[in-house]
Amino acid sequence: MESVILQIAARHMRPLLVILSLVVLYRGHNEPGGGFIGGLMLGAAYILFAMGFGVQKTQKSIPVSPVILTGIGLLLALASGLIAVLMGHVFMTGEWTTLFSGTSFELKLGTPLLFDLGVYFTVAGMLMLVMFSIMEE
Amino acid sequence: MLVLPILLPLFFMVVLIFTRRWLAFQQIFSLLATVILTFFSAMLLIDVQQNGIATMQVGSWIAPYGITLVADLLSAIMLVTVAFIGVVIMIYSPGFIDKGRQSAGYYPLAFGLLMGVNGAFITGDIFNLYVWYEVMLTSSFVLIALGGSAEQLRGSIKYVTINFVASIFFVAAIGILYGLTGTLNMADLAYKLRTIDHIPYINSALMLFFIAFSIKSALFPFFFWLPASYHTPPIPITALFAGTLTKVGIYTMFRFYSLFIVENLVFWKTFIIVIAGLTMTIGVLMAASQYDIRKILSFHIISQVGYMVMGLGIFTVGGIAGAIYFTIHNMLSKTNTFLAGGLVYQRSGSYDLKHLGGLYKASPLLALLFFIPAMSLAGIPPLPGFFGKFFLIKGGFEAGDYVITGVAILVGLFTLFSMVKIWNEAYWKKEPENIKHGRVSRRAIAATSLLALAVILLGLFAGPVSQITLEAANQVVFPEMYINAVLGR
Amino acid sequence: MLFLLAILVGVLYGAAVYLLLRRNIFKLVLGLIFLGHATNLLLFVAGGLTSGFPAFLRNVPGETERMADPLPQALILTAIVIGLGVTAFALVLVYRFYSVTKTVDLDELSENE
């Protein structure tokens, strides 16, 4: 089933949804949002694309396969816990740092954000894996 | 140190995900990984035995506010046994499972399962326990459906549905318990239950927990899903499930009974002993009527889970020690019988006793490899099954629970009958006309032999092992040590 | 509010059990979804809906009146994530079952061996 409207919409929506998912991921720390919801949005962006163009074409347009994306996510989550061990603290202790402090671009980064990024990739990867396996006949 | 049993499988899983195209590497790496896991689990066991209960506050959040990891002797013993079963399965699998399934993610999923199991053994937080259960179950869902034959899909749908329902009972109980007590830390909960006089509705929550875990460990009357699904996937997967999954349910029951049952002791004791008796009797009777090796063995899992719960119902140091020894024995012997059944399948192309025969004459080694664990399960000395039952029955008599002890002895006889039935039909009977002569994989034989050796050693060193199980039982029966270790009092 | 939610939990459980007992396999998955949501709501209700009872701090006058307990919400979030995973897997499973056997009837599940 080829729909021109869906294809055009999907092509333009995908980058927007990816950016939006990153925004949701970042604001998750102090406001509603987070890795899980961001990951769902990222997955949804690609599923929308797959609805318009088919699974094969979508998989070609992603640099990594969904399985590898899941692996990257798990690795980031693992790393976020191990950073604390390297700093000499107990596993999973939150380590924070502030970039550009004092300026108006103050950016607070820490291992919980890295963990969330891991969740983000894992959820998106798993969602794509499941949906693509249903969608391809 | 304490976090390693969870971290290592996660790390191995990630490595295996990235290398999923190189099957030969996956096979060797998985074996190496399980050996490393066994080594660190054994180190943990030695550490716990020498220095007492080990605790760790994840993320530096002190108990009861954060998640605590705790390893007492019971946890450490279970960790070592599961890791060792992992080693055996990883030797066995490449020789049995077809290439398609192996490269479809068998190895990473197996480590996902091990991570969930290990997590459930060492967590000290009730909700975290639920999460580890789900990690374990989700991996097992995919493993049981891996390959996707119609029979497997049929088994998987039953398995997924019933386990999801059990998880729902588990979460509902957690919600109610949190509403009642305002804490999720197991030691803190146990402390509150002992200091606050009477908490209303606490029995509802505990009964919901009991139902959840009895579904997961296949107790009467919730056992039906196990024989309906366990025989569908390839035998190493079944063996891995048989050796680990139901035992996590049993472990959790031990932990919960020890920590949370402070009221209505007489009711709980009678209730659990009745359930144990029914479970072991019905399991063994249903096994007697089956002709598929995998189904006979699946029903025996149920029967033997009954023995472990019997030890829990007795709840004296002797009874619990017997149950822990029996659990170790059962994890090893049960996995071993399944693996030996897989050898029979490779040799003759069938699991159906009606189509089998003459294996004793054709291959004495295969016969011996089945004989050892089967006689161990039936309880013939000097194999560990004998000592397991002996400790349990001794504990039962000492506690004065004569009825359940009598039932246990009777069920032991029936177990012997089933094992002799497989032996007669598959090994001793004259070889049928059109039997297949398959090649048995050397790796599979090596793995089964290694496990059989472990079973024999467990029997020969029953004395020293039972010393450790007695110490472990002491920590279970007197949970004050556990509570104080976690809360740092 | 509490009363209404309690009834809603009961209705959801009832609907879930009804769907689980149907023979259609897709309704089985729907039943699982309902069961998950009913339990999430139960966690919410049981864990304390009202403000004034934050985690670990009980009855501190002037401090705790406007705080709600965030823990049940965190638990529900985790339960939703896990529920999503299981539901997604169940959907794939059911779909595969349908494409292998060409039926959605649970009675075809019974083994005619």
SS3 content of chain C, % helix, strand, coil (to 5): 70, 0, 30
- Domain carrying residue B265: 4-487
- Domain carrying residue A80: 4-135
What average pLDDT does this structure show over B298-302? 89
SS3 content of chain B, % helix, strand, coil (to 5): 80, 5, 20
> B275 with B291: CB under 8 angstroms?
no
| B63, pLDDT greater than 80 | no
As a whole number of angstroms, the distance between CA B27 and CA B15 comes to: 12
> What pLDDT was estimated at residue B193?
87
> B409 with B280: CB under 8 angstroms?
no
Tell which phi-psi region holds residue B416, choosing left (phi > 0), alpha (psi between -120 and 50) or beta: alpha
> What pLDDT was estimated at residue C73?
83
Kindly list the averaged pLDDT for each block of 10 residues, start to end, along chain C of length 113: 88 94 88 92 79 61 69 86 88 86 73 48
> What pLDDT was estimated at residue C50?
62
Asked if the Cβ–Cβ distance from A134 to C77 is below 8 Å, we say no
Q: Kindly report the average pLDDT of chain A as a whole number.
A: 86
Among candidate residues B172, B197, B109, B175, the one with its CA nearest the CA of residue B146: B109
Asked if the Cβ–Cβ distance from C85 to A133 is below 8 Å, we say no
Q: C24 pairs with which residues across the strands?
A: C105
Which residue in this structure is represented by tokens 């349908």? Answer: C98
**Predicted-complex ipTM score:** 0.90
Q: Concatenate the DSSP letters of all residues of C9-45 into one string.
A: HHHHHHHHHHHHTSSBHHHHHHHHHHHHHHHHHHHHH
CA angle C92, C98, C102 (to 5 degrees): 165
Which chains have 3 or more CB–CB distances shorter than 8 Å to chain A?
Answer: B, C
Model pTM? Answer: 0.92
- The residue of B17, B58, B68, B135 whose CB has the most chain A CBs within 10 angstroms, and thus the best one to mutate to test that interface, is B17
User: What digits encode the pLDDT tens for the residues A80-97?
Assistant: 888 888 888 888 787 777
Q: Find residues 7-46 of chain B whose CB sits inside 8 Å of chain A.
A: 7, 10-11, 13-14, 17-18, 20
Least confident interval from A118-132, B80-94, B143-157, B387-401: B143-157
Q: Is residue B223 helix, strand or coil?
A: coil
As a whole number of angstroms, the distance between CA B199 and CA B260 comes to: 12
Higher pLDDT: B476 or B488? It is B476
Least confident interval from A98-112, B387-401, C56-70: C56-70
Asked if the Cβ–Cβ distance from B58 to A92 is below 8 Å, we say yes
Q: Does A68 touch chain B (CB under 8 A)?
A: yes
* DSSP 8-class letter at B381: T
User: What digits encode the pLDDT tens for the residues B217-230?
Assistant: 988 888 888 888 88
Q: Does C103 touch chain B (CB under 8 A)?
A: no
Q: Does A93 touch chain B (CB under 8 A)?
A: yes
As a whole number of angstroms, the distance between CA B161 and CA C29 comes to: 8
Closest chain B C-alpha to A103 CA, distance in angstroms: 30
- The residue of B126, B160, B229 whose CB has the most chain C CBs within 10 angstroms, and thus the best one to mutate to test that interface, is B160
Domain positions in chain C = 2-30+46-103
User: What digits encode the pLDDT tens for the residues B114-140?
Assistant: 999 999 999 989 999 999 999 999 999
Q: Kindly report the average pLDDT of chain B as a whole number.
A: 89
In chain C, residues with a C-beta closer than 8 Å to the C-beta of B149 are 100
Angle between helices B23-51 and B73-92 (to 10 degrees): 160
> What pLDDT was estimated at residue B199?
76
Our count of domains for chain B comes to 1
Our count of domains for chain A comes to 1
Q: Is residue B386 helix, strand or coil?
A: helix
